[in-house]
Amino acid sequence: MARHRGRGMASINYPIGMNLGGDPSQALVHSNPDGKFTVTLSAIDLGQGMKQVTRQIAAETLGVPISDVYVDTADSDTGPHDMGSFASRGTHRVGNAVMAAAKEARGVMMEAAAEELEVNAADLETDGRGNIHVRGAPSRAIAVKDVAIAAQFRQGKTIAGRGIFLIPLSEVNAETGEMSPVSCYAHACLVADLEVDDETGEVTMLKMTSAYELGRAINPKMVEQQLVGGAWMGMSHALYETPEPYYPDIAHGPRDFNEYVMPGPGDICPHDIAVLERPAPDGPFGGKGPGEMCANPVLPAVANAIFNAVGVRIDELPITPEKVLRAIKAQGGARPQGLPGGRR
C-alpha cells in the first residue's frame, strides 16, 4: 500500500460569446456637468468583475482616469438591453458595446473641447489624467471638467454615447454542420501533479501549472482571480461533485453542503500560472474573456495524472475514491507509469 505520484496534462480552447452569435449587448455612457462619467448597462455582475472590466474599457476609450467613471447595472428601466451574463460574453460583447458608447461620447467631448480651445477636434488628444490638449502642445489644454461645464451650460451639447455590439446570427447546415460559431477562442494548457493512495483511492492535488491565453487581459488582478478560482472549480468537478453519484440512478441526491461533497480549503493546491495575450481582432482592446474556460483543462489533466500515477483510466466524472479504488483492484494493483520525461 502506497501513495503514488502522477502527472498529467491537457490542452483546450474555448469559444467566446454565445454560439452562433445573435446575442446583442447595449450600453449608454453619459457625463455629468463635472465631467464624471456613468456607464449604464443591464448586464449582470456575477462577482466576476463585469462592472470593473467595462469601467476600465470606458475610461480607456474616453481618455479619462478610472476614478472618473462608474458603471451602473442592472435596472430594466434605465439600462438598455443585454442578452445576459453567460457564455463568456461579458468582456467581449458588453465590452465592445461600452467601447462604442464611450467612443461616441468622446467624440462629443472632443468637439466641445475644440470649440472652447478654438482648434480642430482632430488635433486634440486626452492625457488620461482628466485633461484635453492640442497634440504636441500640452500647454494648450482644457480640463475635461471645464469641457463638460461648457458643453452643458454654454454650448448646449450632451456628452453622451450609445453603443451596441452584435455578431449576426449564423445559420447551421443540417447535413454538414457548417456554421460560424464564434469569432474568437481562448486557449489553455494545464499540468496537474497529484498523489493517488492505492489503499483508499483518494487523490490529493499537489500542484497545478498552467498557461492560459485569453486575449488582452483588461485587468490582470481580476484575470488572476478568475483563473485561480476557475481552476479550483474544475478540480472540484473532476474529483468531488455530483448530485447523482450513481448516474443514471437518481438516488442519493444531496440536500445540503454536508451531503454535496466539495473540496475544502485544505484541499487547495498551489497553482503556477502564465498568461499569454493574443488580442482578439474584434475584442475590446483585444479582450476575449477567461471566465468559463479556465476550469475545463483541469478535469482531463487530473484524469490523465491519475493514469500516470496508478495506471487506471477513469472515464466517468467525477473521479471519486470509490471509482479509483475499484479500478485499481480490477487491475490487480497500482501500475505507476513513470513521470513524463523520466522515461527518456
Partner 1 sequence: MLEFRKEYFKDERDDRLNEVGQPRQRQDMLGHVTGRTRYFDDHAFEGLLHLKVLRSPHPHARLRSIDVSAAERSPGVKRVIRAADVPVNKNTLLSLINFGKDDEPLLAVDKVRYKGEPIVAVVAESEAAAYDALEKIRVDYDPLPAVFDVEEAIKPGAPVVNETYPANTFEYHEKYNHQKLRFGDVERAFAQADFVLEERYQMSPIEHAPTETNGSIAAPETNDRIVVHTCTQALFFSLGTAAKLLDVPSNRLHFIGGTVGGGFGGKVDSLTEPLSILGAMLTGRPVRYVLGREEEMLYGCPRGAERHYIKDGVMRDGRIVARKIRSYFDAGAYTRLSSYGAVKCIAHVPGPYTIPNVHADSYCVFTNRTPATAMRGFGITGLDFSLEVQMDKLAHKVGMDPMEFRILNAYRDGDMKAHRREAHNCALIECVQVAAEKANWPVREEYRRMSSLTGGGGERAVIPATATDEAGRIGTGRPAGATTPPPRAPATPVPPPPRVPQPVAAQPRVAPPARPAPPPAPPPPSAAPPALREQPKPAAPAPQHGATRFSSVFGTRRR
* Residues in 94-113 that interact with partner 1 by CB under 8 A: none
Q: Looking at 104, 111, 140, 209, which residue binds partner 1 (CB under 8 A)?
A: 209
Question: In terms of C-beta density within 10 A (0-12 exposed, 13-18 middle, 19 or more buried), how is residue 255 classed?
Answer: exposed
Considering the complex, state which of residue 131 and residue 152 has its C-beta at the smaller distance from partner 1. Answer: 131
Find the length of the chain: 344
In the window 283-342, what residues touch partner 1 (CB under 8 A)? 285-287, 291-293, 295-297, 299-301, 303-304, 307, 313, 315-318, 340-341
Q: Does residue number 2 form part of the binding site for partner 1 (CB under 8 A)? A: no
Instruction: Look at residues 21, 9, 98 and name the one whose alpha carbon lies nearest to residue 52.
Output: 98
Q: Mask: binding to partner 1, 43-82, rule CB under 8 A, as x and -?
A: xxxxx-x-xx--xxx-xx--x-xx---xx-xxxxx-x-xx
Question: What is each CA distance from 101 to 45, 79, 165, in whole angstroms?
Answer: 19, 13, 10
Rounded distance, CA 43 to CA 45, Å? Answer: 7
For residue 195, the minimal CB distance to partner 1 (Å) is 16
What is the CB neighbour count within 10 angstroms for residue 92? Answer: 28
In the window 217-256, what residues touch partner 1 (CB under 8 A)? 217-224, 227-228, 230, 233, 237, 241-245, 247-250, 253-256
For residue 60, the minimal CB distance to partner 1 (Å) is 4
Cα 4 to the center of its chain, rounded Å: 35
By CB under 8 A, the count of residues binding partner 1 is 137
Rounded distance, CA 118 to CA 100, Å? Answer: 27
Q: Does residue number 20 form part of the binding site for partner 1 (CB under 8 A)? A: yes
Considering the complex, state which of residue 45 and residue 115 has its C-beta at the smaller distance from partner 1. Answer: 45
215: left (phi over 0), alpha (psi -120 to 50) or beta: left
Q: Does residue number 187 form part of the binding site for partner 1 (CB under 8 A)? A: yes
In the window 140-179, what residues touch partner 1 (CB under 8 A)? 169-179
